[in-house]
Structure 1
């Protein structure tokens, strides 16, 4: 092996300092073809002996949004894999349909589909980590973006070098200029995304192309490094707060009904505002499974509930969540939907089927199984082995006693227990569509596929199922349609 370059040595130091990789782990490298991802791939390959990486696979996601450019990006990445003798997995998704179904921005839709596809590829390839090419400039942009959107102190920590889900960012320390210099030193070419040069394409572009250069010119020529250093300090603070909140949680939590999280107001009021805010965020995170869309003004609304002590009052939170004050209890639960009516629709064959009462549509297509096993990244779209399906199909609401075999579990499970483990509020369960064939449950829509219809290497034909709903909230927290 040739000696490491200075840049590769810095990447290795970052990996070791943040404990990003361990010997014999398998890594999925996300490669778009841009400079950051090409540098990431090159550095990971150069460091394989030092990190002990057992398997390295390239992942490319084709958003299908830029016509010929998208196809050329894919061909470039495939050629990279051939040049470096690294396997390539390519996934795609109908980002436009996902955006329409979820009512989110195109940037958010692309991100959600890409991350879902990454996670699926990581699991199907049996790998341990997903390596992303975010750099120091991306970190500075993220900190400013969160600040402009009204994030609290936790959000100012920006992106983490590693996440609990196995994502790592080996280049997060490196300014873009160092990455470009490394590529030049290695003689490596890369692709440029033309949309990255359009300020109005998204807010992140405006920050990159207009705001950060202005800050560098007027305030500080090394503003990127300053913002990244701030993010590191905030991350250290968050490590302390994480331990502190875990310790205090047992003190303030109350026993809640199924599907809700409850806190003692009296015990909350024993702590200062900073601690209360952290505990409120923790409660929302437990209830929803994430903090996406939760901003400082949401937390402050809950703080006012506590201060004014108006029992029976409530505030709306993102994801269809409500915070309600009931006596000495602060309860976090899904907003009360209209009473659900059981539904049961027969599906005799493939095609497109409208369900007006559900404000939704199901599209079923028979397709040959692609050689790569490519499946769309949206949780509202799955591929099923056509030979394992017994027609006719049914879309129905759940029934007491329902059981299925969740993909990846290795056994059967009561649907009610699955809902409880997934923290799905009782009030929402009757509204979740279930796709069944003549013998069994096939798919809990948006949640989990049944392993009995999962695509395998021996699959020759697939049924691709897409659920398109006007009332499905983003990031897995449902406002499922009323019956």
Structure 2
């Protein structure tokens, strides 16, 4: 019965195909031993290769050594090639600031990947069962998960991890092991309420069964299956929108804000997660709070803001885009300073611009067509020589409402921080005459008394 049910799961989710090479994570407990036996039965039927991988965490002393001996014996009896590795997990976790659970999991999966590469395998099989599924969902609920977390453990992942016995109850797995005389090892730490998962398994779920629903595990898994279908649909829509609004580069993902801001929040969060996944390979340790922080960057008052995300990632808000990147953006200040003739032109090579000047009568100035790339100043109000330069700290300009710092003007005009050093500022000996083609100082404007005009034009090279 269990064998057939596992076959059904394998076929439904296309977990195993003919000719696959599979690395099985073999702890020696009922779940992994049951899966080992089932894969052995499928070995000839589906023409697959199976390799067993066991990690001694050096936590349980002599019991851990007995686990390794048991695995050696059962694999030899079944004709399964096996690998055993021993790592001092507590020492590793202390060194890297990880909990024992986190560190052990990380090291296990690193070992699986190492053996997968060594054996030229394409799949990694893990013995998670239906009870593990329910426990995982409850853990995520207590952490405040969203729809993605309520999907529970996936049957198959993009990196080739498969879970063929995820639909099987733990009691049925134990019966299967007894029926086939497999005599799996029992990790006594699983019977102690020392970890969150153990407390859920040993205390919370039994309490829920006794007081609310004897079939609570099946109910939780059924809910997860239903939500997975809804999540798959939203993910499909989000993937399509991702292609529309995002540009993927080697070290960054650029999100077009004009297209992004009108999306539903459910799509926005998935677009961001997909962008992060493009750069990191997964979204581990990126919580919903981090996603919400990035979403806030779409507000106009967040232009030029930066957010530091987990795992060396950054999010930057620019005028029209949000940038997700693994490279910190350091803005290089461009410096330039040129004397300006009253008639002639100069090349601003740093800005790739040509600046042309002409001095003319007010009558001629009024008779010619002036485009937005040109500015006119009352020539007689200019004091001394004229220069064009980049901004400097403390710069101010006289506007209709009074003096304003150039920094504040840039913020008001929503000029991205990295572009501010590229705005040409024209000054005489007494003050700033204009800031690019954005603002002219009140002190140099043409009025009814103007007789001569200095016309300044900027043209791109």
Same fold (TM over 0.5): yes
Structure 1 length-normalised TM: 0.65
Structure 2 length-normalised TM: 0.68
Q: Distance in 2 between matches of 1:292 and 1:102?
A: 17
Which of 28, 32, 36 pairs up with 2:27? 32
Matches within 5 A, 1:298-337: 298-307=290-299, 309-334=301-326, 336=328
State the SS of the aligned residue for 2:201: helix
The one-character-per-residue Cα deviations of 1:348-403 (angstroms, maximum 9, x if unpaired) are: xxxxxxxxxxxxxxxxxxxxxxxxxxxxxxxxxxxxxxxxxxxxxxxxxxxxxxxx
Matches within 5 A, 1:289-438: 289-307=281-299, 309-334=301-326, 336=328
Q: Distance in 2 between matches of 1:218 and 1:321?
A: 45
Determine whether 1:147 maps to 2:141: yes
Residue 208 (structure 2) aligns with: 215
Residue 11 (structure 2) aligns with: 16
Residue 377 (structure 1) aligns with: none
Matches within 5 A, 1:71-90: 71-90=65-84
Matches within 5 A, 1:234-245: 234-245=227-238
Residue 365 (structure 1) aligns with: none
The Cα shift of 1:199 comes to: 1.1
C-alpha contact 1:149 1:295 (8 A) present in aligned 2: no
State the SS of the aligned residue for 2:214: coil
Determine whether 1:118 maps to 2:116: no
Matches within 5 A, 1:65-76: 65-76=59-70
Matches within 5 A, 1:183-332: 183-200=177-194, 202-254=195-247, 259-307=251-299, 309-332=301-324
The one-character-per-residue Cα deviations of 1:128-172 (angstroms, maximum 9, x if unpaired) are: 222211000001111112222232211211111111211211100
Which of 150, 165, 171 pairs up with 2:165? 171
The one-character-per-residue Cα deviations of 1:150-206 (angstroms, maximum 9, x if unpaired) are: 322112111111112112111000110111121222222111111112212x21112
The CA RMSD measured in Å over matched residues stands at 2.2
C-alpha contact 1:154 1:238 (8 A) present in aligned 2: yes
What is the number of equivalent residue pairs in this alignment? 331
- The structure, 1 or 2, with the larger RCO (C-alpha pairs under 8 Å, 6+ apart) is 1
Report which of the two structures shows the higher radius of gyration computed on alpha carbons.
2
Structure 1 residues 229 and 185: CA distance shift in structure 2, 3 A: same
The Cα shift of 1:307 comes to: 4.0
Q: Distance in 2 between matches of 1:245 and 1:102?
A: 36
Q: Distance in 2 between matches of 1:47 and 1:287?
A: 37
Gap runs ≥5 in structure 1:
1-5, 340-483
4+ residue runs of structure 1 moved beyond 3 angstroms? 334-339
The Cα shift of 1:335 comes to: 7.2
C-alpha contact 2:137 2:152 (8 A) present in aligned 1: yes
Q: Distance in 2 between matches of 1:237 and 1:61?
A: 37
C-alpha contact 1:60 1:91 (8 A) present in aligned 2: yes
